[in-house]
Amino acid sequence: MINVFNRKEICITYDINEQARVRDILKNNSIDYEVATKNLSSPSPLGGSRDSTFGVDLSRCIEYKIYVKKTDYDLAMHLIQK
């Protein structure tokens, strides 16, 4: 099981195809992973709002962070290198 104390980040991307590529590699090599997503165009948690998306590249509005167990980090990094 992956948790905050035994995980390490291997990838941050805004590209849905890149996160799918990394996930496929990890899955095909039986490496457990966790994906955290953040919608950068959603309202601020502090009560402010982001009313407009004018000038924002909407294909880059979701941030994907991929984590693996610390013990799998070196292998995972080796496998996902292009």
Compute the average pLDDT of residues 9-28: 97
Flag whether pLDDT at 50 surpasses 60.
no
| Total domains in the fold of the chain | 1
**The pLDDT of residue 1:** 87
pLDDT score of 28:
98
Task: Give the pLDDT band (50/70/90) at residue 43.
Answer: low
Range of the structural domain that residue 29 is part of = 7-43+53-80
Tokens of 74: 């070196």
2 within a domain of the structure (yes/no): no
Whether 74 is covered by a domain: the verdict is: yes
Q: Does residue 1 form part of some domain?
A: no
CATH number at residue 57: 3.30.70.1370
* pLDDT value, residue 73: 98
CA distance 56 to 58: 6
> Which residue in the block uniquely carries the two structure tokens 């849905």?
16
DSSP calls for the chain: ---TTTEEEEEEES-HHHHHHHHHHHHHTT--EEEEEEETTSPPTTS------TT--GGG-EEEEEEEEGGGHHHHHHHH--
